[in-house]
A = this chain, B = another copy of it.
Amino acid sequence: MAVNSDMMRGMAEPIILKLLNYKKMYGYEIIKVVNEKTNNAFQWKEGTLYPCLHRLEADGLIDSEWEIADNGKPRKYYTLTKKGQAKMAAKVEEWSHFAQAVNNLLFA
């Protein structure tokens, strides 16, 4: 049931921003949550996620801070910035328009 990766293009950003809007999360956790919530329709890998997180941070859309978890592992937690919130809203809106357009074409 894995979805063609071409369709994924550009979706990592809005999805990450949306998840971080609820609570702070660390990278490895985001991967697990996304794959789980989509029933593995999405199969995110580190090579996809980490570069994206770094881009978002460089753009000032998210902030990061290191924490030591109960299991002793260091985790880099990400939080949404004000700028990131605005971007998230815009991206979700953009998805709505996009999906609407595609549905019009595919189910006319």
Interface flags, A1-35, vs B, CB<8A=1, else 0: 10111110111001100110000000000000010
Q: CB within 8 A of A97: which of B3, B92, B104?
A: B3
Structural contact, A14 and B106, CB atoms closer than 8 A = yes
Structural contact, B6 and A105, CB atoms closer than 8 A = no
Structural contact, A10 and B9, CB atoms closer than 8 A = yes
Interface residues on A, range: 20 to 34
A64 vs B79: C-alpha distance in the bound complex, in angstroms? 52
CB under 8 Å from chain B, chain A span 31-50: 34, 37-39, 41-42
Structural contact, B10 and A6, CB atoms closer than 8 A = yes
Structural contact, B19 and A105, CB atoms closer than 8 A = yes
Q: Is A101 interfacial (CB-CB < 8 Å)?
A: yes
**Cβ of A3: which chain B residues have Cβ within 8 Å of it?**
94, 97-98, 101
- List 10 A-B pairs, minimum CB-CB distance, nearest first: A6-B10, A9-B9, A38-B101, A41-B101, A3-B98, A7-B10, A6-B9, A7-B98, A15-B105, A41-B97
